[in-house]
Amino acid sequence: MVLLRLSPMALSRSRFALSPLAETLGSMSVLTKPCSDPWLAPWYTRHRDPFLAVLDADPFAKGLVELIGSTKYLPGFVTLPPSGGMRTALADELGPVAAAPDAAVRADLEAAVAHSWKRHDLEWLTGHGWGARTAGLFRYTWEAHIRPDWPRRRALLERDVSHRAGLLAAYGWPRALQQMNRRSAWVGADAIRFSDQPGPDRVVGGDGMLFVPVCVTSGTWLSEEQPARYALVYPARGSAAAATGRPEPAHALERLIGTGRAAVLHELERPATSTELALHFGQSLGTVGGHLAVLRDAGLISGTRAGRRVVYRRTGAGDVLAGRPEP
């Protein structure tokens, strides 16, 4: 069992972050396999064939992506913790990737081959400058396949962070970590269980742990940078539910408060900002803001300011009206 041990200072400084690099890494693996996530299905249909065509034309890119998608050890030079918090930019993350020396890249790839459930060779690892070539592949994948979908994805990721930040403020880190992935759990007073597999414990440095959501429902990995920086990458909650998992509002509720307001009230089972709701429904901020104002005046929702953002959530009365029984 692998434990991440945190001192009181590390625990107090732990926080959430976003990583376009991690989002791109997970998405590349998704595009090479059958898609099981309804929320990503339209994007997958549009982008899979063009992405595979690029891989077929470049043995280095194809070998690297196939290895990443079939190993229990992701190469360390492409899984560094993000450094920009919630505003991390891909260009900042790709700098260290491009600068990785060939010897370090080869060592990481050999370790990935050793931990793969498929047979691989490294015959495609020819020439030199492998870090820079990898950074180029990630840059292309981001620009061609991820960035056009980033506003929708970012809204989902920020919504996950808002939800977990609320749990953190109310109940502490153990509750915020619940259901982050199938394996992680709080252990005792100062440790996070990352894996059930045998392995050495890690001691998180004084800057704390980073928790990084991605839109890939099966993506979970530990990012590490010496001397003691760690980030736990985990699947954002709610992507499948956002696509197909929630029932349509009851017709009686629609007739009572209107179709648009009923949909917003149901969607606020998970807290969200007006911008996140507008992106989810494909409506203007003015339209969503009008619905929120009416629901708030009726006492069905409340808003809590978090910096420049206002996060809306259902009240007890809103839960009852939306169909959730009172506790």
Note whether 273 and 310 are within 8 A (CB).
yes
pLDDT tens track for 62-99: 999 999 999 999 999 999 999 999 999 999 999 999 99
Point out which residues pair with 221 in neighbouring strands. Answer: 233
Element (DSSP H or E) covering residue 96: helix 90-99
Q: How far apart are CA 47 and CA 141, in angstroms?
A: 10
Mean per-residue pLDDT, 321-326: 65
Q: 61 or 281: whose pLDDT is higher?
A: 61
Number of helices and strands in the chain (H, E) = 15, 10
Q: Which of 82-91, 100-109, 171-180 has the lowest mean pLDDT?
A: 171-180
Q: How far apart are CA 308 and CA 170, in angstroms?
A: 20
The answer to whether residue 59 scores a pLDDT higher than 80 is yes
Query: How distant, in Å, are the alpha carbons of 82, 179, 203 from that of 3?
Result: 21, 17, 8
Mean per-residue pLDDT, 132-160: 94
For the record, the structure tokens of 2 come out as: 């692998």
CATH pick for 246-322 out of 1.10.10.10, 1.10.3720.10, 1.25.40.10, 3.50.50.60: 1.10.10.10
pLDDT tens track for 277-302: 888 787 888 999 999 999 999 888 99
Q: Amino acid letter at 78?
A: V
| pLDDT band per the 50, 70, 90 thresholds, residue 327 | very low
Note whether 312 and 303 are within 8 A (CB).
yes
Note whether 74 and 28 are within 8 A (CB).
no
Domain ranges of the chain: 2-235, 246-322
Mean per-residue pLDDT, 237-265: 66
The pLDDT score that the predictor gives to residue 220 is 84
Entry field: residues in the chain: 327
- Full-model pTM: 0.78
Question: By percentage, how much of the chain surpasses pLDDT 70?
Answer: 94
Mean per-residue pLDDT, 240-253: 52
The answer to whether residue 198 scores a pLDDT higher than 50 is yes
